[in-house]
Amino acid sequence: MAQWAAGFSDTFYKCFIKEDRYKLLLSGISVTIKVSLLAVVIGILIGMVIAMCNLSRHKLLRIVGGIYTDVIRGTPSVTQLMIIYFVIFASVHLDKWIIAAIAFGVNSGAYVSEIIRAGIMSIDKGQMEAGRSLGLNAFQTMSHIVIPQAIKNIFPALCNEFIVLIKETAIVGYVGLMDIQKAGDFIKSATFIAFMPLVGTAVIYYVLIKILTLILKRIEAALRKADAR
């Protein structure tokens, strides 16, 4: 037992302490968080626009929205990331992490649009009619009547999408960003030890997502509470 413990602490030292390797992981965490946060914002914005397209009266907009969702869902996110990074933004000088966040946002937008669309469609159509019958236009009815009610239905699914998105960012190493996953991988190559860096990577993701889940649960509970009247 003592021998095992000594071995463990030795590998732990080699993987995380020696040559300040924990700093790689720390900066990896900050990259993952930065990319995820910006991507989630972009994803929600794109998602709203695409959802509006899909719900529009105009056929052309519905076609555009349909193609967008179809293409994004039909191709791997790694491929999308690489196309956006190496093709679309090839000659644009932006920080790597911003381009990566755009790629994940574009991907997430397709899923978010479906979540928003389902949430809006879950609101009785009488609500839209009541708003319109008072003389509000479609936009005013959406923003004051339909969307405030839809948000409570949308929120849990949106949280889930956020969590999926964070894990999805583990592929940013493909475009040369050092996130948590890449940092763990780098330590593995440098130390020739697989177990400790990879399990460490898993633990870091797990803890990050756990913290996030708890925060989101709180917000959801607050939303429900405001609804329980």
- Footprint of another protein (CB under 8 A): 124, 126-127, 129-137, 140, 144-145, 148-149, 227, 229
User: Residue 121 CB, nearest distance to another protein (Å)?
Assistant: 17
User: Residue 218 CB, nearest distance to another protein (Å)?
Assistant: 21
Q: Which of residues 119 and 200 has its CB atom nearest to another protein in the complex?
A: 119
Please, which residues have CB within 8 angstroms of residue 201's CB and are 6 or more apart in sequence? 25, 180, 181, 183, 184, 185
Tokens of 201: 């990577």
User: Residue 138 CB, nearest distance to another protein (Å)?
Assistant: 9
| Cα–Cα distance for residue pair 41/98, rounded to 1 Å | 12
Tokens of 147: 């969307």
> Would you say how long the chain is, in residues?
229
Q: Which of residues 19 and 124 has its CB atom nearest to another protein in the complex?
A: 124
User: Residue 156 CB, nearest distance to another protein (Å)?
Assistant: 17
Q: Which of residues 207 and 223 has its CB atom nearest to another protein in the complex?
A: 223
Q: Which of residues 149 and 191 has its CB atom nearest to another protein in the complex?
A: 149
User: Residue 148 CB, nearest distance to another protein (Å)?
Assistant: 5
Q: Which of residues 78 and 128 has its CB atom nearest to another protein in the complex?
A: 128
Q: Which of residues 131 and 184 has its CB atom nearest to another protein in the complex?
A: 131
| Cα–Cα distance for residue pair 196/36, rounded to 1 Å | 25
User: Residue 224 CB, nearest distance to another protein (Å)?
Assistant: 13
Smallest CA-to-CA distance from 161 within 205, 90, 201, 110 is with 110
